Structure 1
Amino acid sequence: MTRRTIAIVGSGPTGIYTLRHLLDTATPLEVTLFERGPRAGIGQPYSPDSVSAPMLANIASIEIPPVLDPYLDWLRDQPDAVLAEFGLERDALHDRLFTPRLLLGRYYRDQLLAMTRRARAAGHRITIREGTEVTDIRADDRGLWLSDSAGGPARPFDRVILATGHQFPDADEATRSYFPSPWSGLIQARIPAARVGIMGTSLSAIDAAMAVVTQHGRFRRDGDDLAFDLDPGSADLRIVLMSRSGILPEADFYCPIPYEPLSIATAPALAACLQGPAPLDAAFDLVRAEIMQADPAFALRIGLGGLDADSFADAYFAARQAADPFRWARRNLAEVERNKADRVTVAWRYALLRLHEAVEEIVPDLPDADRDRFDAGLKKVFVDNYAAVPSESIRRLLALRDAGILSLQTLGTDYDLTREGAQTVIDHHDRTERFAVFIDARGQKALSSANLPFPALRAALAAAGQDIPEVAEDYGLMDAGAFTGRLCLAALPYLMHDRPFVQGITACDDIARAIAAGMATRRRRRLTLVG
């Protein structure tokens, strides 16, 4: 059987899971993995270049798809010294544990190297090219050709899989007082004990705050509580989190995994909504019915029966926006910790968690007006629910609040952000905020074809009139000239237009499975209908 030559650009979780599922097919493979960084198998969110030791992965062990070994099994195989390095105790390891990102990066690298050894022993040809940045991809009758920073292989590939992960501004766009993302040099920078503004309140913003405060003090356990001790020379440190809504994320909650099936908002029922004159309203009827069946008391409390797709978000957030955000966080933390200890599931939270994945399947095919309404309302509820953060992250925010270091500002929709010399200035609600250091931590933004860093591919998509890349069920490009069916787009930022929740490790595994299945069966069914 002829070997299939495949290039995987990026060796983070998406690239690793793709290789893992390709190896499950009955096809002899010749795979080359290209990694821009010095060490393959880690991925930007888990790399020492991008994160610091205190930063936690926003996924519990039980949710991480195994590569070769389940993550918890791998953890239990680590020496005590390695666990201690990351503040873990062997007796405290369990399947709901949130661990440091750096440790998860070690897992993925170990698994990639072990998988590569196993694949070579089975007769596959696997090459890992570290420190090699792919700069362009060209197509001709013989296949796809890659240009890279090291000269590139002088032969074409049958298939190229772009698994480049998140894409944030480079560190060279940052200054000593302004960081366009938490991943643009913040970890290596020395931040003064001054007024620091952080745009955003999600886990990315919490990570940014941790990167700053750990330069000026340390967290300390006080029984079941957490405290923060500021260094004597850092008394002027103040951190302000900012967002339009002025609310904090809630703590991750207990629920059954794998997810139980939905009973009303099923895939066929949601798909049928697209055939009617008001798809979003029909879909919301199913969402409302699912929540009302799961948790009638919650539905009654927020008046769900009288809400629609446009008013649901306001009712959902109303109580939190009316409360002091730190008091709310303290109560929420106590609630979720009790529920985890007692294995209690809050039904409405669990319903929303399952609903966001089901509803996402119809989002690409919503009419433009309905898509705008979805983004303005229901999407915000789903994001708030699935982006709950580790309990320890909330404890840290509360410890910083108790130490007088952290505050939260509500900006609303009408504010101006300007740069005045080394300072960042924000004008809102007739007041002016000035920051010696500013960090934009609003997370990954959806990107278009024009943002792709590969000129020939970018030109082909422009010639095809694809401002947003169109991909099939197996993530192969569609209607893109010589790239059609040969290049799989598994880079998350370019999929977010039509899959707004396509972030996280489980999404990486889902995409990888679809790519491998497509290569095995040559499926060409369209995945998204854009524009």
Structure 2
Amino acid sequence: MEMQKTPKKRLAIIGSGPMAIYLLKHINDRVNILKQEIGSIIIFESGKNMGMGMPYTPETTDVYNLSNISSEEIPELIDTLGDWLRKQDKSVLQSLNITEFPINDSEVYSRLALGQYFRSQYILLINKLKAKGVSITEFAENKIVDILPGFDEVGVVDQDHHTHVLDKIVIATGHEWKNEEKSGAGYFSSPWPIHKILPQQGHLYNFTIGILGASLSAFDVVTSLAHRHGEFVKEAGQLIFKPHKDAPDFKIVLHSAEGWLPHLQYEQRKSIREIYRHTSREEILSLVDDLGFLRLETYFNEVCKPALKEALFKDRLEEVAHRLDSPDFGFANFVEVMSKKHEYTNSFNGMKQEMVAAKDSVENNKPVHWKETLDDLMYGLNFHAELLPAEDHFFFRKKVKPFLMNVIAAMPLSSANILLALYDAGRIDLISGKVKILNSDSNSGTTHVEVKDLEGETRSIAYKMFIECGGDGTIELTDYPFPSLVSAKSVREARAKFSSEKGKEEVEEYVSKEKIFSENGRLYVYTGGIDIDTAYRIIDGNGNPNNHINNIAFTHTLGVRPYSYGLQACSATSEILVDFWLSQISGDNTGTIQIRETTKIYESNTHL
């Protein structure tokens, strides 16, 4: 009697940006095994351009928007960004706002250049998979509006209400942003797509524009607006901004809670992050206490302090290095001390001071070891974050992560030169303090905000245009874009256990009491976004993983993986998922899995 072959699985990928591209890359790397299971792949993209991603497509970004990552920092695809750029005609490069040659692998280029590069790599990967016998179907401008759960099969519903029946789904959507805006009052809850905030042809903004945030996204807005209200020229080797004569009152005011501008680009010894560069799987698991928790302070003392001390000595920051020897010097103390090194009475003058050291670091190949080391340490912690108790989750998110994102998501020197040129021209300023939007009045055409400074004093400011650039953050379960999964309780909100009743008091200053709950005699807090297991399978209301649906979208899973960002995490996350599939094919993992099992994947792939 002839054995019946098991039908090959139909895989859907929702999204075609960098996360999906790296998923395709890792599938292609292991296709000889995976094609025993996966026969076809369907890729859905809500935008016009397959294989670019929201930050890099001309649908949302602008020719003046610079990326903040160089070729040498981008995880491996088929070509490097530098090699791909060197193959292009100069006319193509000029259309991407690349005017200085030769191409430099340590230089940053426009977001549009990255978009075209990713598109080229996407096409190459699709063709390679097809040549190896995998069927690929692509749907551009086809937004998935729902996912239908099932026992053996699942369905995706597209914007035209067609249902596609599948065996596996990977949610790889990228950035999402709020669409609330009152253009009559000049209020925008996000700057994307950036074209909506730009003046129409022949018009100028002859007034002050307020921006909430001083992040790299805020700088995208700054540079796009500035290039339309003047020109940047070099005089005696210095970048100068010459304002348009018809916009004498054009100015931008950034609002930053801490009064910080981003740290500047720095040279790295090893530009690709690794989970176990400064520790090992065995060491991390050995630090788990009797209650099953990895305490953040334990991780800092046992793993971070030795690595940071070595790095600080290399950077000649001996005074801070010696302070790490004290058992009373904890993570909060380290953040406070290193933050003060970035605090200035005037942040723009502070940036000018930092520019000297940053240029020396980049141009003379002098790494800033402590920043690179800290990034590796937190990157490694991110992939073990489900071991943290609730109180440590929130300490990390509220105290540590803002510091990290300011230090690590560094501004390229070319971007800083633009910012400083605007400052010297009197066209940009920064106000520190927490901002509360009072109202957006379409009748008067103004948005009123209240600023509360560090001393607790408040003042009200009115803007004809006010743009929020605070990032997309973690979604709430009620905003999860696939309502049938929510209504069927096939997903649940991410949560973390408290280590003690005292921990509840520590968290209550950050979240509402409704977010804290008891279940099976244990105290939990909802951390935002949706719950996933260590293999990125969605978790249902009963705590069971769904083997048909994986969610690797950062904005959905930050409640579990709080420090996931950037292209390197895209590559690592998708590789973890593919390696888990391989373990299933070999029979190693079939049901519920724990972090002790999945972390073996991190160990076997040291470049993750």
The reply to whether TM is greater than 0.5 is yes
Deviations 1:201-221 (A, max 9, x none): 110111111122222112222
Give the 3-state SS of the residue equivalent to 2:46 in structure 1: coil
Matched residue, 2:500: none
Structure 1 stretch displaced more, 212-221 or 242-251:
212-221
Structure 1 stretch displaced more, 203-212 or 106-115:
106-115
Letter in 2 for 1:372: F
Give the 3-state SS of the residue equivalent to 1:117 in structure 2: helix
- Retained in 2: the 8 A contact 1:360–1:499? yes
Taking the TM superposition and a 5 Å limit, the aligned residue runs for 1:194-343 are 194-258=207-271, 265-275=279-289, 279-286=295-302, 287-296=304-313, 297-301=316-320, 303-306=323-326, 307-343=329-365
Taking the TM superposition and a 5 Å limit, the aligned residue runs for 1:18-417 are 18-23=23-28, 24-26=30-32, 27-28=34-35, 29-89=39-99, 91-152=101-162, 155-170=164-179, 177-184=186-193, 186-187=195-196, 189-190=198-199, 192-258=205-271, 265-275=279-289, 279-286=295-302, 287-296=304-313, 297-301=316-320, 303-306=323-326, 307-411=329-433, 413=434, 415-417=435-437
Correspondence 1:6 to 2:67: no
Structure 1 stretch displaced more, 230-239 or 61-70:
61-70
- Structure 2 residues not aligned, in runs of 5+: 495-525, 597-608
- Retained in 1: the 8 A contact 2:269–2:369? no
**Distance of 2:110 and 2:278 partners within structure 1:** 37
**Distance of 1:80 and 1:247 partners within structure 2:** 38
The RMSD of aligned alpha carbons is 2.6
**Distance of 1:45 and 1:249 partners within structure 2:** 19
CA distance 1:483–1:38, shift in 2 (3 Å): farther
Give the 3-state SS of the residue equivalent to 1:126 in structure 2: strand
**Distance of 2:485 and 2:103 partners within structure 1:** 45
- Structure 1 residues not aligned, in runs of 5+: none
Structure 1 stretch displaced more, 358-367 or 484-493:
358-367
**Distance of 1:495 and 1:120 partners within structure 2:** 31
**Distance of 1:450 and 1:260 partners within structure 2:** 34
Q: Normalising to structure 1: TM-score of the pair?
A: 0.91
Matched residue, 1:419: 439
**Distance of 2:289 and 2:233 partners within structure 1:** 57
Q: Normalising to structure 2: TM-score of the pair?
A: 0.80
Matched residue, 1:15: 20
- Retained in 2: the 8 A contact 1:171–1:183? no
Give the 3-state SS of the residue equivalent to 2:138 in structure 1: strand
1:235 Cα deviation after fit: 0.8
CA distance 1:37–1:10, shift in 2 (3 Å): same
CA distance 1:264–1:210, shift in 2 (3 Å): closer
**Distance of 2:581 and 2:182 partners within structure 1:** 39
Structure 1 stretch displaced more, 3-12 or 250-259:
250-259
Structure 1 stretch displaced more, 200-209 or 263-272:
263-272
1:91 Cα deviation after fit: 3.8
**Distance of 2:198 and 2:127 partners within structure 1:** 38
- Retained in 1: the 8 A contact 2:146–2:481? yes
CA distance 1:271–1:205, shift in 2 (3 Å): farther
CA distance 1:88–1:380, shift in 2 (3 Å): same
**Distance of 1:157 and 1:177 partners within structure 2:** 44
* Aligned-residue identity in percent: 24
**Distance of 2:401 and 2:273 partners within structure 1:** 22
Give the 3-state SS of the residue equivalent to 1:377 in structure 2: helix
Matched residue, 1:502: 564
Correspondence 1:525 to 2:531: no
Matched length: 525
Structure 1 stretch displaced more, 394-403 or 376-385:
376-385
- Retained in 2: the 8 A contact 1:274–1:366? no
Give the 3-state SS of the residue equivalent to 1:98 in structure 2: coil
**Distance of 2:193 and 2:97 partners within structure 1:** 26
